[in-house]
């Protein structure tokens, strides 16, 4: 029987379950065992635990007080020595390095100079002495003048070598610390020594002041220990509630019975890591030996993780540990949180079945999450290859260790797949990058026995749980399949990519890290995953086909090469947009009189409609330019055309498809060096002067094409030879991240970095700052001007007299002879005769003739009439009407160009 201290042993036991007799109220200040003074006597007596604790606390407090006093005295002595050394060293160094000290040592009487200084410094610094001596140790100064001239007592050797000497000695004035330092002259030579010292008594003395405080603290600690011990003893008596040994024994028996009857393991571990208690369920769950109590938990044969947790005593809440073949949920709390003994209590719960159920639920949740991620993460772009890569990346490593996607070549180009053709590996992802699978881009023909070929044929998914036992798969490539098996890949799922009735390819999922093979549930998941990806791949395929058609149409409508002309040196670039097909276009159009027209335009929107509209506008510009119209009139005709296009494309419901476009049309004349420009809502051209300066031409900006009814204006720019004219669309200077002003500034800076560069180099420099695939189409033309000099131009004024025709022919013949074009003299005379004769007969003056020697020989006859001649076939009986017919037969090209003052009829002949 366990007996509580202080309880009578002869108290009769009370049967268990019988209520205790009621007790009356206790008087204030009394306890169940007597008066309060009795409790205090029990608390201070050595027979009780409280008394022993009291005596121990008193001894500890006394030891602490003595230790504190001794430590304080030793610390004060140590601090005094340190302080004395530092102060002596500072004073000696200061005096030795003071101005005049080294010089005074060389005087006939150093004492007379240094003694007053040393005494003044000693009194000011609070040291006991400052001694200056020569290198032989003979004193020049001392607080006691009778010691001047005598040998210094102390070590001076290291100081003579340039060092510092610090010594603790017992002198006539008591324990002191003295320092010897050298005195150096300007050359660094030691010419004397300075010693300074101070007794440690002058820097100490704090210990005596702190002793009363320490003693008072010790007395207070003893008083608190006594009162605390009494309170602890009294509280112990209260916590037992006056129970006797019998009641305590019965309570322990019932607690023990309950502890071993519960179906939850309970462990109590002491603060030293030893097992104090383990109930039957804990023994069963952990497989503890019979003698486990009182043994260290690290020696009970548990796994390292569980044993470490039990020994640490840290807080744990529902931590799951695998112990043998059981999953145990462990909860652990320390027992000393509320003043209890050091240690911890641990409860164990077998959660193997619950964990299995939750594991299956977790797997199902992860599969749903993966299917959701597939819905939002696959098909983010309308790119077939990118969509295949998204499928492979999503599956690894959440579903498989490696994933590959093989598509028919036709699918990659946007066409419908053709069964029986080779497949191309479009994507590959894996937990490692060195797997011996077919690489991306490899063309593959699967043998008929392989699971991939069977999936493509039947349209059903296939699973090969053990590849080592799959001869049909191994027949694909014996060498590569052996490498795959040696690499550790052991299981395969193959799922066809089906979109309706089309099989686009096959997706393969490989497993190597997990030892378990793929099962039927994973096959169903793979089929669902691939089905979602197949729709996105098919959408990307359809988009690729339509985009390819639109791009083909657009490129067919753009110029494939620039026409030959001599007025401009031209380079151009065209960059399609990142997505969609735009309506940007450009053209270089040779005109009569060695002139050249430059056109840049942009149709609003993207797609086939924009490309088709661009083609119609480009064709219209070609036709209008053949009429030699001024830029403003040509833009006016284009504006009317766009308005008609909108009217023609009105839908049946009455809603119109509004077509908008911008255009820049410029005509450059190499003879006059004038460039006539007109704008229809387009950015102004940039002009790079021969000196490298850049500005944007001040051209009136008209409204975009399609508004109708508004006039356009032109501007004439006089360009020096070698100037570069830069035409572009808004995709070059504007996008979603910057406005057009910032883009124009960037273009200006880029052009400034190309002084004297060729048009090709200018295009390269300007486009280097753009992304690889801009968000909008970019059309860029850089044209460097050339000049048709006076030596290649000849002009004559012709009077309205038929007799003047012969003079013109003679002048032209002489000019052709000067140019070395005698072969063309006869033809040119005939052409000019017909044209000048018609001008004299049917038109009005002034009449002029101009010859231009460019790539061709150009003959121009101008007059003041606006009536255009017409080519006709004369009958055999007609006397006239054959002049223009002869001109058309003899010239390579001919035509009429109107001017503000009349017209010009021109004809071109190829040079020999």
Summarize pLDDT for 856-896 with one digit per residue, the tens.
899 998 988 877 776 655 444 444 455 677 777 788 888 88
Query: In this model, does residue 42 exceed pLDDT 90?
Result: no
Report pLDDT for 895. 85
Structure tokens at 223: 């008083």
Place of tokens 């990346």: 393
Query: In this model, does residue 603 exceed pLDDT 80?
Result: yes
Report pLDDT for 665. 96
Report pLDDT for 229. 60
Kindly state the average pLDDT of the residues 605-624.
84
Give the tens place of pLDDT for each residue, 195-244: 888 887 666 554 456 657 766 776 776 677 667 666 765 665 565 555 55
30 or 538, which is more confident: 538
Report pLDDT for 420. 79
Report pLDDT for 355. 60
Neighbouring CB atoms inside 10 A of 609's CB total 16
* Whole-number percent of the chain with pLDDT over 90: 25
Cβ-based neighbours of 428, under 8 Å, separated by 6 or more: 392, 402, 403, 404, 405, 437, 438, 439, 440
Report pLDDT for 649. 67
Query: In this model, does residue 561 exceed pLDDT 50?
Result: yes
Q: Strand 701-702 vs strand 674-680: parallel, antiparallel, or unpaired?
A: parallel
560 or 115, which is more confident: 115
Q: DSSP of 195-236, one letter per residue?
A: EEEEEGGGT--HHHHHHHHHHHHHHHHHHHHHHHHHHHHHHH
Kindly state the average pLDDT of the residues 499-515.
91
Kindly state the average pLDDT of the residues 838-857.
86
Report pLDDT for 26. 41
Query: In this model, does residue 713 exceed pLDDT 90?
Result: yes
Report pLDDT for 390. 92
Band of the pLDDT at 407, cuts 50, 70, 90? very high
Query: What are φ and ψ of residue 255, in 5° steps?
Result: -60, -40
Query: In this model, does residue 44 exceed pLDDT 70?
Result: no
Query: What are φ and ψ of residue 58, in 5° steps?
Result: -60, -45
Mean pLDDT of the chain, nearest integer: 81
Residue 602 CA to residue 681 CA, distance in Å, equals 10
Place of tokens 């006939």: 108
* Whole-number percent of the chain with pLDDT over 70: 83
Report pLDDT for 481. 92
Band of the pLDDT at 497, cuts 50, 70, 90? very high
Report pLDDT for 614. 85
15-29, 316-330, 521-535: range with lowest mean pLDDT: 15-29
Structure tokens at 212: 């009363």
Structure tokens at 629: 């119209």
471-485, 549-563, 745-759: range with lowest mean pLDDT: 549-563
Query: In this model, does residue 686 exceed pLDDT 90?
Result: yes
Sheet holding 686-688, edge to edge: 568-575, 778-785, 724-728, 686-688, 694-696
Query: In this model, does residue 650 exceed pLDDT 80?
Result: no
User: Of 38, 32, 36, which is closest to residue 20 (Cα–Cα)?
Assistant: 32
Kindly state the average pLDDT of the residues 839-850.
85
User: Of 905, 837, 844, which is closest to residue 869 (Cα–Cα)?
Assistant: 905
Kindly state the average pLDDT of the residues 488-507.
92
Mutual orientation of helices 825-842 and 883-890 as an angle, nearest 10°? Answer: 150
Neighbouring CB atoms inside 10 A of 311's CB total 18
Place of tokens 């008591």: 174
**759, 728 contact by CB (below 8 A):** no
Kindly state the average pLDDT of the residues 173-180.
82
Kindly state the average pLDDT of the residues 723-747.
86
Report DSSP state, residue 12: P
Report pLDDT for 738. 74
Query: In this model, does residue 123 exceed pLDDT 90?
Result: no
Report pLDDT for 521. 84
Kindly state the average pLDDT of the residues 164-185.
83
Query: In this model, does residue 15 exceed pLDDT 70?
Result: no
36-50, 205-219, 362-376, 532-546: range with lowest mean pLDDT: 36-50
Structure tokens at 97: 């390095």
Give the tens place of pLDDT for each residue, 61-114: 667 767 766 776 677 677 777 877 888 888 888 888 888 888 888 888 888 888
Residue 272 CA to residue 804 CA, distance in Å, equals 133
R_g of the chain, CA atoms, integer Å: 55
Give the tens place of pLDDT for each residue, 264-287: 888 889 888 888 888 888 888 888
Report pLDDT for 776. 78
| H or E stretch covering 696 | strand 694-696
Query: In this model, does residue 652 exceed pLDDT 60?
Result: no
Residue 772 CA to residue 774 CA, distance in Å, equals 6
Give the tens place of pLDDT for each residue, 357-396: 555 666 667 777 887 888 788 888 888 999 999 999 999 9
736 or 229, which is more confident: 736
Query: In this model, does residue 2 exceed pLDDT 60?
Result: no
Kindly state the average pLDDT of the residues 485-512.
93
Report pLDDT for 313. 85
Query: In this model, does residue 352 exceed pLDDT 80?
Result: no
């Amino acid at each position: 029987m366990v007996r509580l201290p202080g309880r009578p042993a002869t108290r009769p036991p009370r049967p268990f379950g019988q209520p205790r007799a009621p007790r009356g109220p206790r008087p204030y200040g009394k306890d169940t065992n007597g008066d309060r003074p009795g409790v205090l006597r029990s608390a201070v007596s050595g027979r009780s635990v409280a008394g022993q604790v009291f005596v121990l606390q008193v001894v500890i407090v006394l030891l602490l007080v003595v230790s504190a006093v001794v430590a304080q005295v030793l610390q004060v002595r140590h601090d005094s020595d340190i302080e004395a050394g530092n102060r002596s060293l500072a004073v000696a160094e200061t005096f030795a390095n003071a101005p005049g000290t080294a010089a005074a040592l060389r005087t006939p009487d150093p004492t007379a100079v240094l003694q007053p200084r040393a005494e003044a410094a000693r009194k000011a610094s609070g040291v006991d002495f400052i001694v200056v001596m020569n290198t032989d140790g003979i004193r020049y100064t001392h607080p006691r003048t009778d010691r001047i001239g005598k040998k210094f007592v102390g070590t001076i050797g290291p100081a003579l070598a340039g060092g510092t000497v610090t010594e603790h000695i017992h002198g006539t004035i008591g324990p002191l610390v003295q320092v010897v330092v050298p005195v150096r002259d300007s050359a660094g030579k030691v010419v004397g020594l300075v010693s300074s010292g101070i007794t440690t008594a002058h820097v100490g003395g704090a210990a005596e002041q702190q002793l009363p405080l320490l003693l008072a603290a010790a007395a207070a600690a003893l008083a608190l220990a006594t009162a605390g011990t009494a309170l602890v003893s009294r509280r112990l008596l209260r916590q037992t509630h006056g129970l006797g040994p019998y009641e305590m024994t019965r309570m322990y028996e019932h607690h023990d019975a309950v502890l071993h009857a519960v179906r939850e393991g309970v462990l109590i571990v002491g603060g030293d890591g030893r097992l104090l208690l383990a109930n039957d369920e804990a023994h069963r769950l952990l497989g503890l030996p019979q003698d486990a109590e009182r043994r260290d938990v690290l020696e009970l044969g548990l796994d390292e993780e569980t044993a470490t947790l039990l020994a640490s005593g840290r807080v744990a809440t529902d931590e799951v540990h695998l112990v043998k073949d059981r999953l145990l949920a462990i909860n652990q709390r320390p027992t000393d949180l509320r003043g209890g003994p050091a240690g911890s209590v641990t409860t164990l719960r077998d959660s193997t079945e619950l964990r299995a159920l939750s594991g299956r639920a977790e797997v199902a949740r992860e599969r749903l999450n993966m299917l959701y991620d597939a819905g939002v993460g696959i098909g983010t772009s309308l790119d077939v290859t990118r969509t295949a890569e998204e499928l492979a990346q999503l599956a690894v490593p959440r579903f498989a260790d490696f994933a590959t996607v093989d598509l028919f070549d036709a699918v990659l180009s946007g066409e419908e797949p053709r069964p029986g053709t080779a497949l191309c590996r479009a994507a590959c992802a894996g937990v490692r990058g060195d797997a011996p699978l077919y690489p991306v881009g490899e063309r593959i023909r699967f043998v008929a026995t392989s699971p991939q070929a069977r999936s493509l044929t039947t349209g059903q998914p296939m699973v090969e749980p053990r590849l080592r036992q799959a001869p049909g798969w191994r027949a694909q490539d014996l060498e590569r399949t052996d490498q795959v098996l040696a690499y550790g890949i052991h299981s395969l799922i193959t799922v066809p990519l089906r979109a309706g009735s089309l099989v686009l390819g096959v997706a393969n999922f490989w497993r190597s890290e997990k030892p378990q093979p793929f099962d039927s549930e994973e096959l169903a998941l793979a089929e669902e995953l691939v089905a979602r990806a197949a729709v996105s791949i098919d959408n990307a395929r359809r988009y690729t086909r339509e985009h390819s058609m639109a791009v083909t149409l657009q490129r067919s409508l753009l110029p494939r090469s620039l026409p030959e002309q001599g007025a401009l040196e031209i380079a151009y670039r065209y960059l399609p947009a990142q997505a969609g097909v735009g309506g940007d276009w450009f053209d270089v159009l040779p005109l009569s009189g060695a002139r050249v027209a430059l056109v840049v335009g942009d149709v609003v929107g993207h797609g086939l409609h924009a490309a088709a509209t661009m083609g119609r506008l480009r064709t219209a510009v070609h036709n209008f330019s053949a009429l030699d119209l001024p830029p403003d009139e040509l833009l006016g005709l284009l504006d009317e055309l766009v308005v008609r296009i909108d009217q023609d494309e009105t839908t049946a419901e009455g809603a119109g498809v509004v077509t908008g476009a911008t255009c820049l049309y410029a005509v450059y004349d190499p003879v006059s060096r004038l460039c006539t420009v007109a704008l229809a809502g387009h950015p102004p051209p940039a002009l790079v002067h021969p000196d490298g300066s850049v500005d944007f031409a001040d051209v009136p900006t008209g409204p975009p094409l399609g508004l109708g009814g508004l006039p356009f204006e032109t501007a004439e720019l006089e360009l020096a030879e070698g100037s570069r004219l830069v035409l572009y669309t808004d995709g070059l200077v504007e996008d979603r991240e910057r406005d057009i002003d910032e883009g124009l500034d960037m273009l200006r800076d880029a052009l400034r970095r190309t002084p004297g560069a060729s048009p090709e180099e200018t295009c390269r420099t300007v486009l280097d700052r753009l992304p690889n695939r801009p968000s909008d189409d970019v059309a860029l033309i850089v044209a460097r001007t050339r000049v048709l000099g006076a030596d290649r131009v000849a002009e004559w004024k012709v009077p309205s007299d038929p007799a003047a025709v012969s003079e013109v022919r003679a002048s032209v013949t002489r000019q052709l002879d000067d140019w070395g074009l005698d072969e063309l003299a006869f033809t040119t005379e005939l052409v000019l005769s017909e044209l000048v004769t018609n001008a004299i007969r049917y038109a009005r003056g002034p009449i002029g003739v101009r010859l231009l020697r460019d790539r061709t020989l150009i003959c121009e006859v101008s007059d003041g009439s606006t009536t255009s001649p017409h080519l006709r076939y004369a009958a055999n009986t007609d006397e006239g009407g054959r002049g223009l017919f002869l001109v058309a037969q003899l010239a390579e090209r001919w035509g009429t160009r109107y001017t503000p003052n009349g017209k010009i009829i021109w004809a071109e002949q190829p040079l020999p």
